[in-house]
Amino acid sequence: MHLVFLGPPACGKGTQSAILVQKYDYYHLSTGDLLRQEIATGSELGQALKQTIEQGVLGSSEIVNQLLKKDIENHRQMSILFDGYPRKMDQAIFLDSVLKENKGALKRVFYFDINADELLQRVLNRVTCNACGAVYNLQTNPPKEDGVCDNCGGRDLVRRGDDTEEVLKSRIQSFYEETAPLKDFYQERGILTVVNARASLDEVTKQIINVL
């Protein structure tokens, strides 16, 4: 059934999601992507969300939950890989209730364990394809051809507006204050796997696949 990737910004959740989605038939549901899509529409809601994301703080659960519920209902038949959701206890509880309504359940939650110094290096080297959202690290996982997306051939690889040192500090702080406590919540339920996210990309994938 469904999986959750929990971890601080730039821990590799997005990259591992892309690998898993290619290998297996998961629907990748990233709430960060849902919010960025809303921003791209230029709506009033999108403008408010843009400010929130640029400050590195969490968006309102009410808005995120609404977007999430709609997306889950649109992919009812699929196993879903949740990336960046839940990020707070109230979201974890909301997720349980929506999954129950849709006759689903969480199979496993992966906690990406990594220290803050490493995250900064990753964030400063991270670029994303503007066309398809593929994520690269210019040092450890660069595109095969400089400036060209391996996945879709797009030539618009950009740094995210919230990938700066200052915003990262705020995002890491919200992670430890609001999201990290979810680790115990899922541990007590017996569905948590801690992944060593400092390992190489392939090794992290192996750690995940081993327990699927």
Identity of the amino acid at 138:
L
CA–CA gap between residue 49 and residue 135 (Å, rounded): 21
- The active-site residue out of 87, 107, 108, 144 is 87
Alpha carbon 135 to its chain's center: 11
Least Cβ distance, residue 145 to ligand AMP (angstroms): 25
Q: Is residue 159 flagged as an active site residue?
A: no
Q: Which is nearer to ligand AMP, 13 or 208 (CB)?
A: 13
> What is the pairing mode between strands 126-129 and 157-158?
antiparallel
Q: Is residue 36 flagged as an active site residue?
A: no
SS3 18: helix
CB 119 within 8 A of CB 9: yes
CB 115 within 8 A of CB 36: no
Kindly list the residues in this chain that would bind ligand AMP in the complex (CB under 6 A).
9, 30-32, 35, 52-53, 56-59, 64, 84-85, 87, 91, 171
Q: Which is nearer to ligand AMP, 9 or 12 (CB)?
A: 9
Q: Closest CB to ligand AMP belongs to which residue?
A: 32
- The active-site residue out of 13, 50, 88, 122 is 13
Catalytic annotation, residues: 13, 87, 126, 160, 171
